Structure 1
Amino acid sequence: MEVVSYMRGIPSKNKNPEKEQVLRLFAQGASACGDNGMQSQSDRWQLSDVGVIQGYVHESSPNSPHLKLRKAVIDNQRKHKKHTVIIDSNLFLYVDKTNAKHYLRYSLNGVFPTTGNYFWDNPDPKRWESISRNLGIRLQPERTKGHHIVICLQRNGGWSMQGLDVMQWVMQTIKTLRMFTDRPIVVRAHPGDKRAKQYLQINKPGVVISHKPDIRQDFINAHAVITYNSSPGVAAAIEGLPVFVLDPTPKISQAFDIANTDITKIENPQHFDRDTWIKKISMSHWNFEELKTGQAWKHMRDYII
């Protein structure tokens, strides 16, 4: 089986060595399993059984060279009934902000649970045990009492909002919440949204904007966490908090399996089986050593052949 890592799918001004390293190690791991792992330095797609890209591309993405290559890989692999592995940020970054443990998330042919395969059909309990041990993270007891509600925003203009303005969404969410609860509300901007300081202004009674560096600080004594569809829902669920996902298509959220979707139930959120869920999402997360040895590829390969 031929596996091609596309090095030019990384931005030319990239300053994060992890992006190149993960592509090299992926190819190395494929070779360790007896396949032909290659690193392409070309800006053109080439036919292979599996193309590997770091990051994704969407309809509204700029027409820059590295994104054009990603699109060519995805489109042509699909056209020829071949596969694309997409490498994305991991869902546990809130406990390892610099990603010192080098865990990343891998999916096949798409970046949503509704469009891609996250290699999680048959969860191995040992996978979560390994990640839990390495990151010092574990499922916290479910919280049944709390004080405030945390609303976690996504990057304004980001593809996951599907064109919906973040401020429009949060203001409507607050308005709806006030029909069912008078709890204090804490609004937290996406940490990667550098423009949030300019646009995130809310002057409403009982609503404050958080400036705390660690999301877990906002989780202290919280009643519930609301997201559109983003990864803070995963962090909140791990920390024992009830989660609400308000995307009209909630299944695209990685937290869907353990999430409430009806905001009218904010005072009486449902609780779910987090143990099955966390074991499932752990199957899409692998670190650099597991890539290098081929352990990660050996698992993913079973979904391709």
Structure 2
Amino acid sequence: MKVEIFRRTVKDRRRGASWELLQHMAEGIKTSGDEPVIVNENLTGDWRKDEMEPTAPIGCMFGYGGDKQMHHTKGRRRDLVERAKKKGIYIITFDGGLLSSFGNTVDHPQHHWRVALYSPMNNGNFLSDNSPPDRWEMMKGLWNIKNDPWKKSNPEDPILFVLQPKDNWSMNELDPVDWFNRVYKTLRPLTARKFLVRPHPNHVAAMEERKNEFPKDVELIIGEKFFSGDNKKFYRFNFQEAITNCHAVVTHNSTASTDSCVRGIPTFCTSDLAICWPVANRDLTKIESPELPDRTQWLNDLGYKMWTTEEIKNGTVFRRFKQKLGL
């Protein structure tokens, strides 16, 4: 069976983890006895009409594109998914990100990637429903994950707001300051807790420039603005320290919300694309009395949403999807 790999769902620079991942997937497909076909491997420059037209029963891409991001790489991803769904073609997509504050960073030799159909967020199909606990237990040991019971807070514990850049896949062009100020208007009359605002590591300097747009009683956390070397990785690790004494985490759809739910910090999300949506709080008016759902099956399923580079290269991932899809 031919399997199309859409190289132009990553940038044309032909390097980096996402580009390499598609090459690894090609290896896995070949190892499984199928034929990987790199679509428009050498094409560069502007988006070409019909370049994302799928023709094989199954295709592969990297990432996601929102309906307000129909430009450049994100737009090509969106176009591919829409075309594939119209033709009944499956598209496997990848992303990283989950559990990064516990150590699942892209440079870790056992880095686990998200793998799903059509989207690496909650609107994708990871084929992971009702999974056993084995992979989750393995990940807990691998990264020494603290999976505590839901935290019961003290009256003085603050609320941490986690921001994302406007051009982030999951923000889909929603301005983070506009988002925060709308949420603030709902929450401030309901609680006297301190509000801490944590920018995305790629967006610290931009948020400092706009600090006057935040309400005066909010603490905008401005640390290092331009990261080099391992500093960005350490900023992600610091998230676990940042949430330790928090009453709750509030975000639109940051991958950090998965990490806070795993840790046992009540987490409010305003987007149903969040991976933690099944166990997240959705009603902001319950900020002082968050729901504390059972996370057992969600955590087990999380273990089957993510796979290592080696499992992608050796065909484990592709064979699993083929078998689950009956191909």
Fold match, TM over 0.5?
Answer: yes
Does residue 281 of the first structure (1) align with residue 291 of the second (2)? no
Given the superposition, is the C-alpha separation of residues 98 and 67 from structure 1 closer, same or farther in structure 2, using an over 3 Å criterion?
A: closer
Query: Could you tell me which of 232, 235, 238 is aligned with 2:256?
Result: 232
- What TM-score do you get using the length of structure 1 for normalisation? 0.87
Query: Could you tell me which of 268, 289, 292 is aligned with 2:313?
Result: 292
Deviation, structure 1 residue 290: 0.9
Instruction: Note the 1:15-94 alignment, pairs <5 A.
Output: 15-16=15-16, 18-40=17-39, 41=41, 43=43, 44=51, 45=53, 47-61=55-69, 63-64=71-72, 66-67=73-74, 69-94=76-101
Deviation, structure 1 residue 132: 2.2
Q: Give 2:48's aligned residue.
A: none
Deviation, structure 1 residue 221: 0.9
Deviation, structure 1 residue 158: 3.6
Q: Give 1:182's aligned residue.
A: 192
Does residue 150 of the first structure (1) align with residue 150 of the second (2)? no
One-letter amino acid of the counterpart of residue 95, structure 1: F
Matched residues in 1 for 2:287 and 2:4: separation?
47
| Structure 1 residues 124-171: Cα deviation after superposition (integer angstroms, max 9, x where no partner) | 311212222323324123211241110111212445334433212212
Query: Could you tell me which of 113, 119, 122 is aligned with 1:113?
Result: 122
1:103 touches 1:285 (CA, 8 Å); kept in 2? yes
- What TM-score do you get using the length of structure 2 for normalisation? 0.82
Matched residues in 2 for 1:6 and 1:162: separation?
22
| Structure 1 residues 29-50: Cα deviation after superposition (integer angstroms, max 9, x where no partner) | 1222222234342544452121
Given the superposition, is the C-alpha separation of residues 164 and 120 from structure 1 closer, same or farther in structure 2, using an over 3 Å criterion?
A: same
Q: Give 2:7's aligned residue.
A: 7
Matched residues in 2 for 1:68 and 1:203: separation?
35
1:24 touches 1:39 (CA, 8 Å); kept in 2? no
Task: Say which SS state the counterpart of residue 161 (structure 1) adopts.
Answer: coil
Deviation, structure 1 residue 7: 2.4
Given the superposition, is the C-alpha separation of residues 69 and 131 from structure 1 closer, same or farther in structure 2, using an over 3 Å criterion?
A: same
2:166 touches 2:172 (CA, 8 Å); kept in 1? no
Task: Say which SS state the counterpart of residue 5 (structure 2) adopts.
Answer: strand
Deviation, structure 1 residue 176: 2.1
Deviation, structure 1 residue 288: 0.6
Task: Say which SS state the counterpart of residue 145 (structure 1) adopts.
Answer: coil
Query: Could you tell me which of 145, 167, 170 is aligned with 1:160?
Result: 170
Task: Say which SS state the counterpart of residue 190 (structure 2) adopts.
Answer: coil
Q: Give 1:132's aligned residue.
A: 140
Unaligned 5+ runs, structure 1: none
Task: Say which SS state the counterpart of residue 277 (structure 1) adopts.
Answer: helix
Aligned-pair identity in percent equals 25
Unaligned 5+ runs, structure 2: 44-50, 224-234
One-letter amino acid of the counterpart of residue 34, structure 2: D
One-letter amino acid of the counterpart of residue 234, structure 1: T
Task: Say which SS state the counterpart of residue 260 (structure 2) adopts.
Answer: helix
Does residue 245 of the first structure (1) align with residue 269 of the second (2)? yes
2:161 touches 2:198 (CA, 8 Å); kept in 1? yes
Matched residues in 2 for 1:298 and 1:226: separation?
38
